A and B are shown apart, each in its own frame.
Chain A
Amino acid sequence: MIEPGLYHLLFISTALFFIGVYGFFTRRNLVTMLMSVELILNSVNLNFIAFNKYLWPDRLDGVFFTIFIIAIAAAEAAVAIAIIINLYRSHRSIDVENTEGMKF
């Protein structure tokens, strides 16, 4: 095993991103699709932190981008879950195949 560095972290974040993409493609349930989106956002955060640590240690920009992404992800999850629960009330299902009638 070699000493971990930037490339190891980039591999982890890339793998996590494409695991999230796979989940987003295969899942048909809105809550599990939301989980895949969270995985994708986390991989982006890891990327920012790795670049900040190894390439630009004199700046803190990666840290700020990560903090803002976490805040936006929290807002996004809250709004998405409000929509999902509202959808469940009207359709009794949160499967994307059954929700073609979302047009107003």
Chain B
Amino acid sequence: MSGSTIIFYLLAALTLVSAVLAVTTRMIFRAAIYLLFSLIGIAGIYFWLQYEFIAAVQIVVYVGGIVVLIIFSIFLTQQAGEKLPKQKPGRQLFSALAAFCGLALVMLQLAQHIFVSTGKTAIEPTVTNIGNQMLGVDDNGYALPFEVVSILLLAALIGCIVIALKTKPNGIMNKEQGISNNEGSGF
């Protein structure tokens, strides 16, 4: 048993245990922190697989972006230190049963299936290879999905602004008040 095996099992345990805690704890802020550790564990597994670029993207986008966004939204919408209401035991039982049955079904299928590797020589997943292929327009290029995702991000940006716009209750009546309020805040 080598050191790499031990590290893999430690990362797997960190990921799964903190994921279970994230969906079962009744303190919502702790749930966000457990989710953070679960995502860090997955980034560690990517490092273990030697996909360094994906691991870096995982840490930057998920840990640095999405979890921070979630924590902000918790602070904006939740009373601090308040516990979530208790779940009905029946719902918990049936959800656990459904999840366990799904897991058992998939694991049964996995145990019967034999995966065959192509066995060709591996391409190193370096940033150079990824970048060349992502913006390539030949058979293996991903230039079109890249552009589609950029349009999607633009649409999401505009959508967020439109959704989160504050609407004035009585448009014209409060307009003057709104302007005088905004002058003070420097916008």
Contact = CB atoms under 8 A, between A and B. Distances in A.
A32 to B, nearest CB: 6
Nearest to A87: B77
A25 B91 contact: yes
B57 A67 contact: yes
Interface string B120-157: 11110100011001100000101001000100110011
Contact of B159 (A1, A31, A79, A84): A79
A58 B140 CA distance: 12
Interface string A67-94: 1101111111111011111101000001
Interface in A10-28: 10-12, 14-16, 18-23, 25-28
Nearest to B141: A64
Interface of A: 1, 3-4, 6-12, 14-16, 18-23, 25-29, 31-32, 34-36, 38-39, 42, 45-46, 49-50, 53-60, 63-64, 66-68, 70-79, 81-86, 88, 94
B77 A42 contact: no
Interface in B71-96: 72-74, 76-78, 84-85, 87, 91-92, 94-96
A53 B122 CA distance: 9
Given A46-B45, A49-B51, A60-B129, A82 B77 contact: no
Given A26-B92, A58-B118, A12 B66 contact: no
